[in-house]
Structure 1
Amino acid sequence: MQRRSRWRFTRRSGRAGCSAATGSCYSGHRPDFRSERSILSTDGLRGKRVLLTGGRAPAALEMARLLAAAGCEVIAAESTRHHLCRVSRSVKRSCRVPSPAADPAAFADALEEIIAQEGIHSLIPTCEELFFVAASRERLGSQCAVFTAPLAQLQRLHSKAEFIRTAGRLGFNVPMTVRISKPEEWRDFAHSSSFRDMLSSGGCVLKPEYSRFAAKVRIATSRQELVEAASELGTGHYPWVAQQYIGGREICTYSIVHDGKVTAHAAYASELSAYGGASVYFEPLRHPAAQAWAARFAELERFTGQLAFDLIEQEDGSLMPIECNPRTTSGIHLLAGNPGIAEALLLPQASSASAPVEPRPDKRVMLALPMLAAGLSGRLRG
């Protein structure tokens, strides 16, 4: 095979490998790769080459499996040496790339060369690599389809403060939310009418503006608790969000969206989690109101990509948005195995005329590794 720029491909012992100046690319290719395609394979997807980023995540592995089952050839790009997709039979090749956080330019260069060398049709970013891919969306999009929204839109929705402002501007009911980034803003907020209103409605939830898995969340139910939290949290170098506490049931949604049209959707209740954060057990929740909420937001935003929401269902049945995750989430596990899910990702024209793909009613998912780790440490909550 021809050598191209920094990447080179060799074949040894039934495996393919490539190397770059910054690392190596190892293949999960098996000689019987093509024979593993399931009955979910469709002619429209057979042979399409898809590049996934974030191969370390269970959600990325799930996506690789469902794409391979539909007849796609999956290539994974990951900056860590050992990751889940590297040993999966659903992944034809696994390429190690530079860390996007440490060297964004080298990361984009590596993706561009993989796309050219492998003849990639579609790039689907998962995990935090999403934002770095979006930063090079125009450049990479000249070579293949890139399934992500523009960077500015992603950043606006990823921010817990800006997302709430956006939802309010679009006409949704939203909780009182205040962004706090300086020590003096903590003091001002402690004596503000907004804080008094939050206390009267049940309390104030404090959380980093950008975080995952409910990390570092605090609840203040008095001014003294807020002052104590501020003395600890206000010394950091990143902004926080103070949000009105909303009582009720937490509903999580995950949608695949093309130009504002939802082509696949899953909802589930957040009932069992590891370390008080991310859910590790999932079962589908038939919730028309949550689906309608997600569909309306996606349409008004003309969003393209993967879109997830944390909503609170109040006693009267109304929904209040809390956070948005414009990326792959664990909701993908509930959609795996459904006919049409790969088309929902890659062939929006074929799937837009029909109802969104939804989980089977009997679908149940438990993430084994987080469950084991949390169980052994006694930190499983439910």
Structure 2
Amino acid sequence: MTGQRRSAPQARKRIVPSDYVNLMPFAIILLTALLDLTTPLDLQFDRLLSAAPALAACAWSVRGTLAIGLLSLVTNVGLAAAQGLLERPGHFFTVGAIAAVTLAAAVASGARQKRERTLADVRSVAETAQRVLLRPVPHRLGQVSIDTFYMAAAAEAQIGGDLYEAVRTPHGVRLLIGDVRGKGLHAVEAAAVMLGAFREAAHDEPDLPHLARRVETSMSRAAAQMPGGDVAERFVTAVFVEVPDDEPTVRLVNCGHPPPLLLHDGQVCELEPSAPSPPINLGMLVDDDYHVDVAPFTAGDQLILYTDGVTETRDSSGSFYPLTERVRPWIAAAPGELLDRLRQDLIVYSDGALHDDIAALAARRLPEAAGTAEHVGGHVTVRPMA
């Protein structure tokens, strides 16, 4: 959902495996009837009719499964009548087998539907929790245009800890993207702590290192109170970003997260940190500090923050999604359009088989925010992609 406002575009229309499963019971009945009518009587292909209701239990409702079982029985009786086999003992055995399999399949269908309803309820709760956690981000903050999207893999309704936020502060527009290690309720709880700490501290702390330390303190305190597991394993990779109102620059602190992309001067560049900063909740365990990098960010430039679900998306051959190459044709697109294209491209690239949650945020500096600067203090390792 882009900015929590637009639903994800649909992947290209195609026949999905469930369509074939729905039709296969009828194909089995038809194929069995043809074989039984065109082969010698002693082969008894009609016994295969019991496979139709058994397969129907995988996709059809209880009534549908019973109807397919009844159709199999009618087909069996019709074949026996056409071949003069109604009085043969083998015919009664086949009828009994089809009836027994149909009843068992109906029970299995009912159990499957119950599980599906439970999973749908859990998934609905999970999606609601994710929407509450990732509240809508304004499309414009100061002189920065912003858009976001979150796309859940929804494997067994497990929501992950992908997070983003954008706030206007006295120090400029501050952005955050992060990814909590693991999935489930613990990840959501950690993401909630992370976002709450950022939303509060972003307005008060004078610079990004102080902001990262403040969030680190909140996360460490919360992680120590979470039940079970190793506290050190509850870490968050993140990127803190600051876009000052009066400078054509962007400041970043990268805490072990995938490097953002900068769309600047017609090029797509990876903003690799000049020095590593520890992931959140690991700062107490390493003798390191939070390092600020600075890059030019002038009118029309765009920054893309994303979680590793983007670059770890694979195609049918197992190749990772080449983000920088795919983004290059979209340099001129507005943030919302760019993320719409990225989302749709990820679905097509993976053929709809996403295995991880994905979050992304795009921020563009609007023309009236641009200033002129001869020199930018400090620098970030900007690596143009060929």
TM-score above 0.5, yes or no: no
> TM-score normalised to the size of structure 2?
0.23
Name the structure with the higher strand share.
Answer: 1
Structure with bigger RCO (C-alpha 8 Å, 6+ apart): 2
> TM-score normalised to the size of structure 1?
0.23
